[in-house]
């Protein structure tokens, strides 16, 4: 069931230098502290869904995913390039429209988003233990330590950890020194599509034109060399056997 809140009806978001979206203003400033409050854009959320897909066979509860986020749709682009987002009641997993996802962090320790983090952490560890032959089973504590180290690094550098980074840290976690086989590690569909587009851009870009010019230039050079060689053959008299060259 999607989250409901009469006071949370809109927010304004801006894109930061890290290319993540951050809340600039919100309709419920009493309950929401906007300092360091990130929001997940539609492309990032699709990426997260792709990373969640392998966890389905390990018991992923999709209702926890839906309950962990407030859904917002784009209403207007402001003059300062920030985006006005209006709250929608659609289930973020079922909606066909691209939606921004704001994690429900009103209770950071026991709220819906905290429950989701706990859930996917356990499932990721379960999946890794199933797919990788460790000498000793991996534990949840080891992954949680990885998350704390990442967040502490952000804090020491004076920046907040974005929720997208927090989620992908869990969903892409593999212990150092290990890796998943290619057929076991799933590449997100969103990345596949972007890769196809990048390849298409390269195919139609200047690199191809430069290669074509180079090929044509080489062809012209070869033609000039052939013509020069033919000219020399016609203009240089053949040497007669036994004939001394003229002095």
Using one digit for the tens of pLDDT, what is the confidence trace for 199-244? Answer: 345 444 444 334 334 444 344 445 555 555 554 555 555 554 445 5
Inside any domain, residue 156: yes
| Interval 127-143 mean pLDDT | 92
Inside any domain, residue 237: no
Q: Are residues 204 and 119 in the same domain?
A: no
End-to-end CA distance of the chain: 106
- What integer pLDDT is reported at residue 219 of this predicted model? 42
Inside any domain, residue 141: yes
**Least confident interval from 69-78, 134-143, 145-154:** 145-154
What is the rounded distance in angstroms from the CA atom of residue 76 to the CA atom of residue 219? 55
Q: Are residues 34 and 66 in the same domain?
A: yes
Q: Are residues 153 and 214 in the same domain?
A: no
Measured in degrees and rounded to the nearest 5, phi and psi for residue 124 equal -65, -45
**C-alpha neighbours within 13 Å on the C-beta side of residue 209:** 4
**C-alpha neighbours within 13 Å on the C-beta side of residue 115:** 16
Inside any domain, residue 177: yes
Domain with 40 in it: 10-186
Q: Are residues 43 and 164 in the same domain?
A: yes
DSSP 71: E
Inside any domain, residue 154: yes
What pLDDT digit, counting tens, does each position of 48-73 carry? 999 999 999 999 999 999 999 999 99
Residue 164 has pLDDT above 90, yes or no: yes
Inside any domain, residue 174: yes
Q: Are residues 70 and 145 in the same domain?
A: yes
The answer to whether 97 and 155 have CB atoms below 8 angstroms apart is no
Residue 136 has pLDDT above 50, yes or no: yes
Please state the domain count of the chain: 2
The residues facing 87 across adjacent strands are: 72
Q: Are residues 91 and 179 in the same domain?
A: yes
Q: Are residues 34 and 111 in the same domain?
A: yes
Tokens of 152: 């502490």
What pLDDT digit, counting tens, does each position of 104-127 carry? 999 888 899 999 999 999 999 999
Q: Are residues 110 and 226 in the same domain?
A: no
Q: Are residues 111 and 195 in the same domain?
A: no
Q: Are residues 213 and 118 in the same domain?
A: no
**Least confident interval from 23-37, 167-181, 197-211:** 197-211
Percent of the chain whose pLDDT exceeds 70: 71
**For the chain, where are the E strands, in sequence order?**
10-15, 21-26, 38-39, 69-77, 83-88, 100-103
Count Cβ atoms within 10 A of the Cβ of residue 144 and give its class: 0-12 exposed, 13-18 middle, 19 or more buried: middle
Q: Are residues 171 and 222 in the same domain?
A: no
CB atoms within 10 A of CB 44: 23
Query: Is the C-alpha dihedral spanning 131, 133, 137, 143 positive or negative?
Result: negative
Inside any domain, residue 119: yes
Inside any domain, residue 243: no
Q: Are residues 136 and 59 in the same domain?
A: yes
- Cα–Cα distances (Å) from 131 to 59, 137, 184, in that order, read 16, 11, 8
Count Cβ atoms within 10 A of the Cβ of residue 205 and give its class: 0-12 exposed, 13-18 middle, 19 or more buried: exposed
- What integer pLDDT is reported at residue 233 of this predicted model? 54
């Amino acid at each position: 069931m999607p989250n409901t809140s009469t006071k949370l009806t809109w927010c304004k978001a801006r894109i930061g230098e890290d290319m993540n979206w951050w809340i600039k203003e919100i309709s419920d400033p009493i309950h929401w502290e906007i300092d360091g409050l990130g929001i997940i854009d539609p492309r990032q959320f699709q990426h997260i869904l792709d990373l969640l897909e392998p966890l389905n066979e390990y018991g992923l509860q999709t209702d926890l995913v839906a309950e962990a986020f407030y859904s917002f749709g784009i209403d207007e682009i402001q003059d300062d390039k920030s985006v006005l987002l209006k709250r929608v009641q659609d289930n973020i997993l079922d909606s066909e429209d691209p939606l921004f996802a704001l994690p429900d962090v009103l209770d950071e320790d026991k709220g819906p988003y905290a429950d989701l983090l706990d859930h996917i952490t356990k499932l990721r560890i379960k999946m890794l233990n199933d797919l990788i032959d460790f000498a000793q089973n991996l534990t949840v504590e080891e992954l949680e330590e990885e998350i704390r180290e990442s967040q502490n690094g952000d804090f020491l550098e004076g920046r907040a950890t974005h929720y997208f980074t927090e989620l992908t840290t869990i969903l892409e976690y593999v212990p150092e020194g290990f890796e998943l086989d290619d057929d076991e590690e799933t590449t997100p569909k969103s990345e596949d599509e972007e890769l196809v587009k990048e390849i298409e851009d390269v195919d139609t870009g200047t690199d191809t034109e430069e290669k074509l010019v180079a090929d044509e230039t080489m062809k012209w050079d070869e033609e000039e060399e052939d013509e020069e060689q033919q000219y020399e053959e016609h203009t240089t008299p053949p040497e007669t056997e036994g004939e001394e060259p003229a002095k």
